Amino acid sequence: MLSQQFKLNLPSKMPDGGYSDADHKQAFLGFLKFVKSNLGGQTAVRVDSHWATQAMALQGFADFVTPDMVLREDRLGDDLEILAATVGKNTMPLLAEQTDPYADRLMSIYDADIEAAVLDVYQRDYDAFGFGAYA
């Protein structure tokens, strides 16, 4: 469906030596078009938690119990200190700079076009949770 409807040129097996960064970028932009359509209810595919918005996830949690705290990316260090203090901790580990094992691959294709496409899909999350540009 992704290949046919959203024109994603995906290799049948990975790693594929012929699958370039340019191919990866085009596939990622195509995937983001799919995600936007999917989140807008314009596909028959269910919204998966891997690409659902943070706002959707929080709304789903709130159906069961209201969260005590929402941590925002732009002040995550401060919010984690507050959270640690609520459970009696005086110190907490430093946040890792990079935790995504695929960060290098993303950085090889990341540019203003990718950022604009992600922002188009997740604008509400950027605003509500303090997200900024990836790089």
Host domain of residue 115: 2-8+23-129
Answer for the pair 9, 27: CB distance below 8 angstroms, yes or no: yes
Count up the domains in the chain and report the number. Answer: 1
Asked whether the beta carbons of 3 and 12 are under 8 A apart, the reply is no
Q: Is residue 101 part of a domain?
A: yes
In a domain, 77, yes or no: yes
Determine phi and psi for 98, rounding to 5 degrees. Answer: -135, 125
- Among residues 76, 77, 86, 60, which one has the least CA distance to residue 129? 76
Is residue 15 assigned to a domain? no
The pTM of the full predicted model, rounded to 2 decimals, is 0.81
Which two structure tokens, joined as six digits, stand for 127?
A: 């605003």
Domain contains 135:
no
pLDDT in tens, the chain (135 residues): 788 888 788 888 876 788 889 999 999 999 999 999 999 999 999 999 999 999 999 998 888 998 888 888 888 888 888 999 999 998 877 777 778 888 888 999 999 999 999 999 999 999 888 888 987
70 within a domain of the structure (yes/no): yes
16 within domain boundaries: no
